[in-house]
Amino acid sequence: MILKLVEATNKKIDSFFNLKSKGSKNPRILELYKAINDLIMRGGKRSRPELFFLTLSAYGVSDSEKYIDLAVALEIYHQFLLVHDDIIDQDFIRYDGPNISGYYAKEFSNLDKTISDSLALLAGDVMFSFVYEIISNDKNINSEIKIEIIKLFSEINEGVVSGQLLDSLNIKTLSPTLEIKDLIEIHTLKTSLYSILLPMKLAAIIAKLDENEIQNIEKFSQSFGVYYQLVDDYSDYFVNKSAFDIREKYRDFKQGKVSSPYIFVINRCSKDDHEYIDSIFGKKDISNVDMRSIIRIFEKYEADKSSAEIINNYFNQSLALLDELNIDDESRSKIKKMITKYKI
């Protein structure tokens, strides 16, 4: 049932952008909508719509198909954040192909790259406006619920922007004394809020849950989101069994982004190793030889083991907090499966 709802969400996203394209006669605007739709349709796990539908089912909402438009809004919001995140990170690839910046960088290769970033910025902006348009036009929810949902998206977005701000400053030159607790704050704001709390709290509004259960959801979401992001950090350096291991490695190191493995090694290593790491940290053209040397240094000071330990702590904490939720065993098992998918 959940899979069918996620598939229906995919189809609705596609039809939404096709309808948008028919509403504009300007070829440049049509091109923008097509680039956005192609990007979304090309990849993504749809884990946020999946968690939204799982939470609806867990709390006894039997007519989940009525809320497919909200799942569409969730996914477009997620993709909007990725578009802007790629601009900030100066990335041109997403889902094994060009992202919005990459698409326009190729089209306008003879011009300054600020053109492609500007168009990607506008793409993200219009995607964000589509989120509120979809919610406002949803005939399956009343005005009172719409106000709650719009307020939720606004609050989440404010938190995510705060997390993105801290993450953008999360580079060695600007954050030389960053600690694990600071990283947890970034992960809570940037990942927990919109990846876990938003879909679950959106379902909580539909299910009309009481404040006590919403607080339980908030605690679980914070833990699961931090765990999810710490696994992502770990997977940037070390081979593991999680769903993240298929991603390209060493992106954080090459971008000069401080993560948990880096924090552990930099606080333990010798002066010589520290200087060597500093000499190439943040360089995009690092050789494979240097990168292998870096991994050996990380393992020498057990950054892999310490990172794995904190990940396992959040894994166990997430499972314990999942048990606090007032949901049936079948739903609990399905959400647990989502958590264990990222176990290293």
Q: Among 86, 120, 140, where does a domain finish?
A: 140
User: Do residue 13 and residue 84 come from a single domain?
Assistant: yes
User: Do residue 263 and residue 165 come from a single domain?
Assistant: yes
User: Do residue 17 and residue 153 come from a single domain?
Assistant: no
Question: For position 10, which CATH number holds?
Answer: 1.10.600.10
Q: What is the pLDDT of residues 127-159, one digit of tens each?
A: 999 999 999 999 999 999 999 999 999 999 999
Q: Among 140, 155, 184, where does a domain finish?
A: 140
User: Do residue 191 and residue 50 come from a single domain?
Assistant: no
HEC sequence for the chain: CHHHHHHHHHHHHHHHHHHHHHCCCCHHHHHHHHHHHHHHHHCCCCHHHHHHHHHHHHCCCCCHHHHHHHHHHHHHHHHHHHHHHHHHHCCCEECCEECHHHHHHHHCCCCCCHHHHHHHHHHHHHHHHHHHHHHHHCCCCCHHHHHHHHHHHHHHHHHHHHHHHHHHCCECCCCCCCCHHHHHHHHHHHHHHHHHHHHHHHHHHHHCCCHHHHHHHHHHHHHHHHHHHHHHHHHCCCCCCCHHHHCCCCHHHHHCECCHHHHHHHCCCCHHHHHHHHHHCCCCCCCHHHHHHHHHHHHHCCHHHHHHHHHHHHHHHHHHHHHCCCCCHHHHHHHHHHHHCCCC
User: Do residue 191 and residue 51 come from a single domain?
Assistant: no
What pTM was computed for the model? Answer: 0.93
User: Do residue 104 and residue 156 come from a single domain?
Assistant: no
User: Do residue 266 and residue 296 come from a single domain?
Assistant: yes
Amino acid identity at 9: T
User: Do residue 156 and residue 103 come from a single domain?
Assistant: no
Domain count, the chain: 2
pLDDT, mean of residues 7-34: 92
Percent of the chain, pLDDT > 70? 98
User: Do residue 84 and residue 229 come from a single domain?
Assistant: no
Residues in a beta bridge with 257:
171
User: Do residue 106 and residue 195 come from a single domain?
Assistant: no
Task: Judge whether residue 174 has pLDDT over 60.
Answer: no
Q: What is the pLDDT of residues 77-123, one digit of tens each?
A: 999 999 999 999 888 989 889 999 999 999 888 877 789 999 999 99
Q: What is the pLDDT of residues 290-341, one digit of tens each?
A: 999 999 999 999 999 999 999 999 999 999 999 999 999 999 999 999 999 9
C-alpha neighbours within 13 Å on the C-beta side of residue 267: 15
User: Do residue 258 and residue 283 come from a single domain?
Assistant: yes
Task: Judge whether residue 175 has pLDDT over 70.
Answer: no
User: Do residue 172 and residue 118 come from a single domain?
Assistant: no
Taking the C-alpha atoms of residue 183 and residue 163, their distance in angstroms, rounded to an integer, is 10
Amino acid identity at 177: T
Q: What is the dihedral of CA 235, 240, 241, 245, to 10 degrees?
A: 40
Residue span of the structural domain in which 232 resides: 142-344
Task: Judge whether residue 172 has pLDDT over 60.
Answer: no
Taking the C-alpha atoms of residue 265 and residue 248, their distance in angstroms, rounded to an integer, is 21
